[in-house]
Amino acid sequence: MEGQNELDMMKTGRIIQSLSGFYDIQNESGQIERTRARGEFRKSKQKPLVGDFVDYESQNDEGLIWKIHPRHNALVRPPVANIDLAVIITAAKEPNFANNLLDRQLVALEAAQIVPLIYFTKTDLLTNDEYEDFKLIQQNYQNIGYEVILPAPHQQDVAFNQLKEQLQHKVAVFMGQTGAGKSTLLNHLSPELGLETGEVSKALSRGKHTTRKVKLIPVESALIGDTPGFSSYEVFDFSVDELDDYFPEFVAVRQNCQFRGCLHLNEPHCAVKSAVEIGTIVQSRYNNYKSFYDLIKSQKPKYKKQK
């Protein structure tokens, strides 16, 4: 009977916050309940993540998580699971646009099986000619298949509304280099979200022993990860043989390479290099592929252990 009572009390919900070993779960009726993870998770080296769907048992003071449902995807930093969208905040100016950094972020998201959305900020600082150049950049990434929002200099609200439309009913994380305007955009989405982000960032800067908190905050119909930053793209945690898997335009033509397992570097009759020559693959993307290839080859084995 005791086992039956436990089953009767079992609920399913999504973890929306983790803090000091506690997990706040939003159940199917919208209620939020505080839980801890059962000790068995530690023994099996499993750890619940914000964004996880879990089965849990309600108790008076705090419940217990019994089961973690299979994840669609997950990130290590920030530790969030089941992400529908990652918004890459990319400055057009101040700091100047760096296609290498953008491509690095895109590759990391492809590897994590997370859909990216590129959002350009500070377009109001561009000259007319510079803005036309960015329209070409936008088109290049859209041709690959990426969603790109490039605000017209005097129509920032139109682009912002496009972003809000893309966020509807999704779990999203935001990533971007320092100074790209991520905090400003988050503040614009939700004053509560911006405040929380600032508080966490300040707390983290005080030292490594500061309590880490990860939270999903509702913004209209979306849930947005409130995290101090996204750094999963700093190191590539896969082999060079996998790299071209994460360039969608390479995947589209590589079956036409003469050699199976072609690395698209020095091999003859390479369909990827041919596509670069005729302009159907952008030169900068190919240059960054070669740069990332060299980076992965030079990485020390210890990086492979950080998974």
pLDDT in tens, 63-120: 999 999 999 999 887 789 999 999 999 999 999 999 999 999 999 999 999 999 999 9
Query: Checking phi first, is residue 264 left (phi over 0); if not, alpha (psi -120 to 50) or beta?
Result: left
Cα→Cα distances 230→87, 108, 272, Å: 11, 11, 31
Helices (H), 168-282: 182-189, 191-204, 248-251, 271-278
- C-alpha–C-alpha distance, residues 86 and 93, integer Å: 21
* Cα–Cα–Cα angle for 176, 179, 180, rounded to 5 degrees: 45
Look up the pTM and report it: 0.87
Pair 220, 285 in one domain: no
Q: Which residues are annotated as a binding site for GTP?
A: 121-124, 176-184
pLDDT in tens, 216-271: 988 888 999 865 555 556 678 899 999 999 999 999 999 999 999 999 999 999 99
Is 73 a domain residue?
no
Domain around 52:
2-68
Pair 93, 168 in one domain: yes
Q: What is the tally of structural domains in the chain?
A: 3
CATH of the domain at 282: 1.10.40.50
Q: Which residues are annotated as a binding site?
A: 121-124, 176-184, 257, 262, 264, 270
Pair 56, 134 in one domain: no
Q: Which residues are annotated as a binding site for Zn(2+)?
A: 257, 262, 264, 270
- C-alpha–C-alpha distance, residues 191 and 183, integer Å: 10
